Amino acid sequence: GESVGLHLPTLSVQEGDNSIINCAYSNSASDYFIWYKQESGKGPQFIIDIRSNMDKRQGQRVTVLLNKTVKHLSLQIAATQPGDSAVYFCAESRGGGGNKLTFGTGTQLKVEL
Amino acid sequence: DVKVTQSSRYLVKRTGEKVFLECVQDMDHENMFWYRQDPGLGLRLIYFSYDVKMKEKGDIPEGYSVSREKKERFSLILESASTNQTSMYLCASSSGQANEKLFFGSGTQLSVL
């Protein structure tokens, strides 16, 4: 069946290092992808998005890479800070109306001092 | 900034009770969504709405209903709460444009005893 999933449930990095969080998707018809950050006790917050006609998009300290050939999405965080500790979700839009997003199961990012 | 407000942060109910979860957004968004979030399962879509008085089932609608009488308000209803509905419930909204990000509320942690 179709799924959006993450390779690793937990990722530990040292403060100052770069973090890479991966996500696999299986629906080749998906045309919009998005990353959310969820801190403990809060709702998910938008980080960055990318449309299927792009393969890279950069934000402030974050970069999203899209590889449509292997249906892979990654989030790169530069110079990871303690405030980056959170659960990160990827999500895909499978078309249709209403911006209905399907979410992955999440990756816990832990930043070690 | 968009604000999505969920009426309760924590809620404790008994099996068989009728439960109302309320959500209000202040950005005149057309689309509103209810997700539930469980450990290891990510966010799963329960119901969504494109417009006032309009609703569509998501991936897990069983045991739930919704109401959207006004554009800014989207209510999730558990007709007869059961223990397997203990979960974090997240409301979200988005504009009517295609492939636009969702804005989430802080969530309601519901415990059904």
Rounded mean pLDDT of B68-92?
97
Q: Which residues of B touch A34 (CB under 8 A)?
A: 101
- Cα B87 to Cα A17, B82, B107, B112: the distances in Å are 34, 11, 10, 9
What is the pLDDT averaged over residues A32-54?
93
Tally Cβ neighbours within 10 Å of residue B32.
28
Q: Average pLDDT over chain B, rounded to whole?
A: 93
B56-72 tens-digit pLDDT? 999 999 999 999 999 99
Q: To probe the interface with B, which of A99, A101, A103, A105 has the most B CB atoms within 10 Å? A: A99
pLDDT at B41: 85
Q: Which chain B residues contact residue A101 at CB under 8 A?
A: 45, 102
Facing B31 at nearest CB: one of A31, A99, A105? A99
Say which of A46, A98, A106 has its CB closest to residue B31: A98
Which DSSP helix (H) or strand (E) runs through A67? strand A62-67
User: Cβ(B10)–Cβ(B89) under 8 Å?
Assistant: no
**Contact yes or no for A100 and B45 at CB 8 A:** yes
DSSP, collapsed to helix, strand or coil, labels residue A71 as coil
Contact A46 B56 (CB under 8 A): no
**Partner-chain residue, chosen from A49, A89, A105, that has the shortest CB–CB distance to B101:** A49
pLDDT for A26: 79
pLDDT(A3) > 70: no
Q: Tell me the C-alpha distance between A25 and B90, whole Å.
A: 23
Spell out which residues of chain B touch residue A29, defining contact as CB-CB under 8 Å.
none
Distance CA A3, CA A24 (A): 8
Local structure of B106: helix, strand or coil: coil
For residue range A90-113, list pLDDT tens digits in order: 999 876 545 678 888 899 999 998
Residue B30: Cβ within 10 Å count: 18
Instruction: Please tell me the predicted confidence (pLDDT) of residue B113.
Output: 96
Q: Distance (Å, rounded) from C-alpha B40 to C-alpha B42?
A: 6
Report pLDDT for A6.
45
